[in-house]
Copies of this chain bind each other. A is one copy, B any other.
Amino acid sequence: MKNVAIVGGTGYGALELIRFIEGHDYLKLTQIISQSQEGHLLEEMYPHLATYIDAPLEAFDFIKIRDKIDIVFFATPAGVTKEMLPQFLDSPIQCIDLSGDLRLSNPSDYEKWYGGKPASQNLLDNAVYGLSEIYPNEIQGAHICSNPGCYSTASLLGMIPAVQNDLIDTSSIIIDGKTGVSGAGRKTSIMTHFSETNENVKPYKIGKHQHIPEIEQYLSKEANQSVVINMTTHLIPMTRGLLCTMYGRLNQSINVQEVHEIYQKFYQSHPFVRVRNLESYPATKEVYGSNYCDIGVYIDERTRQLVVISAIDNLVKGAAGQAIQNANLMNGWPVDLGLRQIPVFP
């Protein structure tokens, strides 16, 4: 049994971490840290957690963490872990960072897409990228794990089989993303105001989404060449769910059965990626509350475009679920420990 702390304990990422840790055989939630709500009970803010969490929220205190905690999940906004994590480098504590601070290996990319000073090179060098299905070996035994962004997870799982197998012209990739509102967190804004979000579809952060360089970094790595993508993201009137529709021009005379077989083989040993049957395509409700990434493939014969569609629950496979999956990998536990939950449907 490992003792777990969550830093940033009042956001939606933390809520999902708590939900999955509760059902995990080897993880014990020992401490929840929130600078802003120190001393309060989490149930004051979230009555649905009554009976689950007794201890009050605590301020961050490295000494206290060092003495009793084995694994820390950082469910913090961008900009926090780059300051907090250096002191963990010399400790044996496993750190899993759900924020974007350690995702970009090139510091100047961080400055450009996130703004502000990037994490130190030393910290970046010590972090592995936690895209569980793609980098399981790197993650196993890792000390610091940088959990991928939600769009990055859906996009990379959808496109890596294609670029690794050189199926498409990598200069032609277009990603059209749709996400529910919970991705914006609990901070209130007009963007997340019910009256203006309900019955509405709107694009946002066009060409500026901070997951773009993250996707490019790992597509480039897997394609063995520099990949630049065009991604447009849209806000959808639902709480959870993220669907990416991805387009790439085929550069060989492959048919859809062959592409489908490539995808199936690619993910055959990975329980959380479900390649849909041919002519069946993912829907976000079919992964609701679960750690699955469902992927469907289609070839538009008229334009010779490959269309790949992937769906995740942005708060689970796109955040807390994958973080637990990485904790499993880091510790050599079964990858689906605590995560084998059927999607909540309907």
Interface residues of A (CB under 8 A from B): 12, 15, 18-19, 22-23, 46-52, 171-172, 174, 176, 178, 180-182, 184, 186, 188-190, 192-203, 206-207, 228-230, 232, 234, 236-241, 243, 245, 247, 271, 274, 276, 280-290, 292, 294, 296, 298, 300-303, 305, 307, 309, 311, 340-346
Nearest opposing residue in chain B for A283, CB measure: B202
Q: Indicate how many identical chains form the complex.
A: 4
Chain B proximity of A309: nearest CB distance (Å): 6
Given A176-B176, A201-B283: 9 more A-B contacts, CB < 8 Å: A48-B285, A48-B287, A174-B174, A201-B236, A203-B296, A206-B298, A234-B245, A237-B238, A288-B344
Chain B proximity of A112: nearest CB distance (Å): 11
A283 touching B52 by the CB < 8 A rule? no
A195 touching B245 by the CB < 8 A rule? no
Bound Cα distance from A32 to B218, whole angstroms: 43
A243-B201 contact given A302-B228, A342-B18, A342-B52, CB 8 Å threshold: yes
Bound Cα distance from A346 to B289, whole angstroms: 10
Residues of B within 8 A of A181 (CB): 194-195, 198
Bound Cα distance from A285 to B193, whole angstroms: 13
Bound Cα distance from A243 to B233, whole angstroms: 13
Nearest opposing residue in chain B for A204, CB measure: B281
11 A–B contacts from the bound complex (CB under 8 Å): A47-B276, A48-B342, A174-B247, A178-B234, A192-B193, A200-B241, A202-B285, A203-B243, A207-B300, A236-B237, A240-B346
Nearest opposing residue in chain B for A281, CB measure: B203
Residues of B within 8 A of A192 (CB): 188, 193-195
Nearest opposing residue in chain B for A176, CB measure: B176
A202 touching B239 by the CB < 8 A rule? no
User: CB < 8 Å: which of B190, B241, B294 contacts A186?
Assistant: B190
Residues of B within 8 A of A176 (CB): 176, 245
